[in-house]
Amino acid sequence: MVISKKPRSQNHYPNPNFMREDRTEMSEDDDRSSPSDSVNTIDSCSNKTTSGSTSGSGPSSIPEYQAPYPDQVLENVLENVLCFLTSRRDRNAASLVCRSWYRVEALTRSDLFIGNCYAVSPRRATSRFTRIRSVTLKGKPRFADFNLMPPNWGAHFAPWVSAMAKAYPWLEKVHLKRMTVTDEDLAVLAESFFGFKELVLVCCDGFGTNGLAVVASRCRQLRVLDLIESEVSDDEVDWISFFPESATCLESLIFDCVDCPINFDALERLVARSLSLKKLRLNRYVSIGQLHRLMVRAPQLTHLGTGSFRPSEDVAQGEQEPDYTSAFAASKSLVCLSGFRDIIPDYLTAIYPVCASLTSLNLSYANINAEQLKPIIGNCHKLQIFWVLDSICDEGLQAVAATCKELRELRVFPIDAREDSEGPVSEVGLQAISEGCRKLQSILYFCQRMTNAAVIAMSKNCPDLVVFRLCIMGRHRPDHVTGEPMDEGFGAIVMNCKKLTRLAVSGLLTDRAFNYFGRYGKTVRTLSVAFAGDSDMALKYVLEGCPRLQKLEIRDSPFGDAALLSGRHHYYNMRFLWMSSCKLTSGGCQQIAQELPHLVVEVFNHEFDEDMGNFVNTLYMYRSLEGPRDDAPKFVSIL
């Protein structure tokens, strides 16, 4: 078909595709423990495949479509075709073809992804996309998780929910990450969207059990209520009791981060009447004895997060305990296990029957040693995702490497997260993993000592690496065997891992390392830098050499205004740049703000850091169609 070229809509400024950031379906900094956990965002097309009629005379055969334009025929066809596009990258590309495609794409898009809630306003988003069923919003930058951002910075859900309440009455899914959500927002959500199905809150705050109660009671079609790593205040409301008394549609209930006691009997009854429940993650107020009761009620579970993996205190010593092992054996569908808080390691063997079918195991709250791990991990041949504490030591990692040949993602967290702690894992563990787990795609590894040799080995043994995050906890630590900086190791990673998109570096790093990143890191999208580099050159290498860079977070590194300005050609292509405790001055930030009007340049100085001299404490800048936001707190100045 012939489509005449029409001028682009003005909504596209800044031209370099402000949505080009959305290159992936799943965000790479998704901290959930299993990729199969990510809720399916593709459900748009079911009602659009009705007819492929090209007759097009008069009203179309597709219900609720109104096209006031003469090329209605064309748009009908387009609509039928474009509805098959699911990837947002493809959709963004399609929307740029011409006005007609832009319009139709906007009509057929059902999943709205906004990587920075301040890049676009709710009004603009809802007026462009009118038929959205699912919204994903991300707010604060990741460094906010580590107390580098003062509280009350922003990322409020409120304006979004009120705009969407009017624009999307058929909204079914909301997925928020690092947003501030209040109980009132949840109430609006619960009351505005009749068929609401999925609520996923990752690293959010601002709400409490009051809000949960409202959602539980009003969202009668709720299938998914996932609260992950969020801060939930205890309003002393028995929110579990607010679920409907009749059978529920619940498929996933994740509340391990809700750190308040729950009404267990109510939970047990809820599980009993939720026949579709597949994913259940409990908080630490559920004991192992109570877990047993739930498992008996719900043997169909695929994903289980235990509560405290020990009996509650009122169980006397020697009292007859239920047979946990057989409960696990009866749960034949279990593929993902997590929780294990406050574990008494003796109980861990209860999970033995499911090990052979597990694809995801999260022991990152379980303080166990290598000997306790080995019998379990020795059976986990299918394991793809493994999160664990470094209490298992290098020896434990060797055991993992020996068995888990299918491992895709490994995260090793420190049990003692201080710079000068013992450090039970080291390059030995990393080397073992690299040799045993050749299919590794993602690794997060905290340690106290590391060598270039091990990192280089991993770069060669694991060519599929997409995410490489190594945190040597002591700042500026060199290779502890050779005494050299860690440049060569990280350099090898960017050189040899051709699919690398996310990199987090640590240890002693000179400008040379950044030179490597600039030269070889052509696919890198996210880069995290802390206490690294010698001069502005380092940052320049990266800004000039990494065309795909979208998210750059830097702290405590000696980069100044010259380096900042050297990236001016690229900032419109990025989602954000964060630089804290570097050598930026307000003059430099001012200049970049003037040169790039579509960047919002936020500078904050904490009350206590006024004496940083001329240096800016934190720079957080991001592209935006809206200009400076109006909800910025006092400590934020927008240049």
Size of the site for another protein (CB under 8 A): 85
Q: How far is the CB of 13 from another protein (least distance, A)?
A: 35
Between 307 and 353, CB nearer to another protein:
307
Residue 308 in tokens: 């405290």
Q: Is 246 in the site for another protein (CB under 8 A)?
A: no
Least distance from another protein to the Cβ atom of residue 604, Å: 13
Q: Is 134 helix (H, G, I), strand (E, B) or coil?
A: strand
Please, what is the minimum distance in Å from the beta carbon of residue 478 to another protein? 6
Q: Which range of residues in 86-94, 123-131, 271-279, 468-476 is near another protein by CB under 8 A?
A: 468-476
Check if the beta carbon of residue 546 is closer than 8 Å to that of residue 522.
yes
Residue 218 interacts with another protein (CB under 8 A)?
Answer: yes
DSSP 205: B
Q: Determine, following the binding rule CB under 8 A, whether residue 317 of this chain makes contact with another protein.
A: no
Question: Does 593 interact with another protein (rule: CB under 8 A)?
Answer: no
Shortest Cβ 367–another protein spacing (Å) = 4
Candidates 477, 525, 570, 623: give the one binding another protein (CB under 8 A): 477
Residues with Cβ < 8 Å from 373, sequence gap 6 or more? Answer: 363, 388, 392, 396, 399, 400
Q: Which residues contact 186 (CB under 8 A, 6 or more apart)?
A: 207, 211, 212, 214, 215
Nearest-angstrom CA–CA distance, 428 and 553: 29
Q: Cis before residue 14, ω within 30 degrees of 0?
A: yes
Q: How far apart are CA 483 and CA 549, in angstroms?
A: 31
CA distance 335 to 509: 40
Distance CA 210, CA 38 (A): 26
The contact mask relative to another protein for 255-274 (x = CB under 8 A, - = no) is --x---x-------------
Contact status: 313 vs another protein (CB under 8 A)? yes
Of residues 364-403, those binding another protein (CB under 8 A): 364-367, 389
Find the binding residues for another protein in span 604-633 (CB under 8 A).
Answer: 606, 608-613, 615
Closest CA to 176 of 233, 256, 251, 114: 114
In one-letter notation, the amino acid at residue 400 is: V
Q: Does 346 bind another protein (CB under 8 A)?
A: no
Q: Which segment (55-63, 400-408, 416-424, 630-638) binds another protein by CB under 8 A?
A: 416-424
DSSP state of 594: H
User: CB 315 → another protein: shortest distance, Å?
Assistant: 12
DSSP state of 341: B
Select from 510, 523, 590, 591 the one that contacts another protein (CB under 8 A).
510
Q: Which of 78, 106, 189, 213: binder of another protein (CB under 8 A)?
A: 213
237 near another protein, rule: CB under 8 A: yes
Determine, following the binding rule CB under 8 A, whether residue 495 of this chain makes contact with another protein: yes
Residues 45-74 that bind another protein (CB under 8 A): none
Shortest distance, position 282 Cβ to another protein, whole Å: 12
User: Does 145 participate in binding another protein (rule CB under 8 A)?
Assistant: yes
Which residue of 64, 245, 319, 420 would you call a contact of another protein, by CB under 8 A?
Answer: 420
CA 2 to chain centre: 41
Q: Is 78 in the site for another protein (CB under 8 A)?
A: no
Q: Which of 470, 530, 599, 621 binds another protein (CB under 8 A)?
A: 530
In terms of C-beta density within 10 A (0-12 exposed, 13-18 middle, 19 or more buried), how is residue 390 classed? Answer: buried
Closest CB to another protein among 236 and 595? 236
For another protein, which stretch binds (CB under 8 A), given 126-134, 144-152, 566-574, 588-596? 144-152
184 interacts with another protein by CB under 8 A: no
- The residue from 63, 318, 483, 597 that contacts another protein (CB under 8 A) is 483
Instruction: Check binding of 491 to another protein (CB under 8 A).
Output: yes
Take residue 453 and report the two structure tokens written for it.
């040799």
Which residue's CB is nearer to another protein, number 277 or number 471? 471
Closest by Cα among 151, 229, 153, 160 to 188: 160
Question: How far apart are alpha carbons 67 and 73 in whole angstroms?
Answer: 9
Site membership for another protein, residue 484 (CB under 8 A): yes
Tell me which of 265, 422, 544, 595 binds another protein, using CB under 8 A.
422
Query: Quick one: which segment of 48-56, 90-98, 143-151, 593-601 binds another protein (CB under 8 A)?
Result: 143-151
**Token pair of 20 as six digits:** 């080009």
Report the residue from 471, 543, 619, 636 that binds another protein according to the rule CB under 8 A.
471
Nearest to 439 by CA among 412, 413, 466: 466
Long-range CB contact pairs, 531-534, < 8 A, 24+: 531/475, 531/476, 531/506, 531/555, 531/556, 531/557, 532/505, 532/506, 532/507, 532/508, 532/557, 533/509, 533/557, 533/558, 533/559, 534/510, 534/558
CB 48 within 8 A of CB 80: yes
